[in-house]
Amino acid sequence: MKKPAMVISAAAVALLVVAVALVVRPGSDPVAAQQSSPLAAVATGPAVARLGNQQVTPAELQTLLATVPAETREQLRGNREALERWIRTRLAEKAVLEQADAQGWAQRPEVARQTRAATEQIVFRDYLRSVSQVPADYPSAAELQQAYDSGKANWQTPALYRVSQIFLGVNDPQNLETVRKQALELSKKAQATPAEFAALATQYSQDRVTAERGGDTGLQPLQQLVPEVRGAVARLKVGAVSDPVQSAAGFHVIKLTEQQPTRTATLDELRDQLTQALRAQRQEQIAQAYLDGMLNTATLSIDGAELNKVLEEKH
């Protein structure tokens, strides 16, 4: 069974900041390094945040929010801590870049080589994407159906279990037997009157996130449950309540409230996922055909002797 969500909230914030930094990494555009740097200029105009000469403008923040995935964007909008952490990181990076710019760092030979290589890759990928656009009407309904039918063996969804729990934690080994007895009493009460399970979970369960829902943990495959709980759930019939199950965190009294058997996902359920996959595959095919065409139409020659010289050089 999952632990309360509040236990991982701090880690989630940290991961969110990392995700944003990877998606929109400030100052990472190699093309910008070839232009005159504005970092040393005195900051003017409205700003969301300032650090010395540096600032994060409203337009820059809007670009961030427009670039990240929709889910991340909503998390940022509702998580001021993560958003402000990104702003502080952005200002620190700008300050570092200002120092590097003052020392002419972009003109250092090794930096210039990396800049040229990165710029070439950006231009190459962007141009190749522009000449390998997939028609808007692809895939057709028939092509989508064919892809679904041909991969039907892969569309199996696992059996799902809706489990409710009463969780009693064991924070001190000396309290183990006391907590075990309490879990056993609650288990007997719930087994005698299963309809009262939700009320018991709300009153006694120490997993407050699920307790607020009468102990309901939602539909999930068996593999997502704690191993000890997994075995107990597999043996339960719908509506039945288990004896106390001990895990590393404490004791769980389990009720299986719903079970959905393994089934094949429908085309409607997979439509968006399949469409994106087919379009990505087609774009890759068009791009490869374009590259092959470039080689077929050009005069290509490889000097074997020169190639051997390079391969034989000691590095």
166 in the same domain as 105:
no
The predicted structure's pLDDT at residue 44: 61
Q: How many domains does the chain have?
A: 2
Sheet (strand 250-260) strand order: 216-221, 160-169, 250-260, 245-246
The model's pTM:
0.56
14-56 residue pLDDT tens? 433 334 333 334 344 433 333 334 444 445 678 999 998 899 9
Q: Output the domain CATH number for residue 241.
A: 3.10.50.40
* E-state strands within the chain: 49-51, 54-56, 156-157, 160-169, 216-221, 245-246, 250-260, 263-264
Structural domain includes residue 309: no
Based on the domain organization, do 15 and 120 belong to the same domain? yes
pLDDT computed for residue 254 by the predictor: 97
* Residues 6+ positions from 56 with CB-CB distance below 8 Å: 47, 48, 49, 50, 87, 90, 91
Of 263, 289, 307, the domain-final residue = 263
pLDDT score, position 74: 83
Predicted pLDDT at 275: 96
Q: Which of 65, 96, 130 is a domain's end point?
A: 130
Query: Are residues 119 and 164 both part of a single domain?
Result: no
Considering the domain architecture, whether residues 16 and 86 belong to the same structural domain is answered as yes
In a domain, 286, yes or no: no
Q: Do 121 and 180 have their domain in common?
A: no
Token digits for 314? 């000691």
* 97 and 162 assigned to the same domain: no
**Judgement on whether residues 112 and 188 belong to the same structural domain of the protein:** no
Give the three-state DSSP class for 140: coil
Instruction: Identify the segments of the chain with pLDDT beneath 70.
Output: 1-44, 297-298, 315
What per-residue confidence (pLDDT) applies to 315? 65
Q: Is 53 exposed, middle or buried (0-12, 13-18, 19+ CB in 10 A)?
A: middle
Cα-only R_g, the chain: 29
204 in the same domain as 118: no
| Residue 18 structural domain | 5-130
pLDDT score, position 6 = 29
- Is residue 113 domain-shared with residue 18, that is, in the same domain? yes
| One domain, residues 16 and 107 | yes
212 within a domain of the structure (yes/no): yes
Residues 21 and 56 in one domain: yes
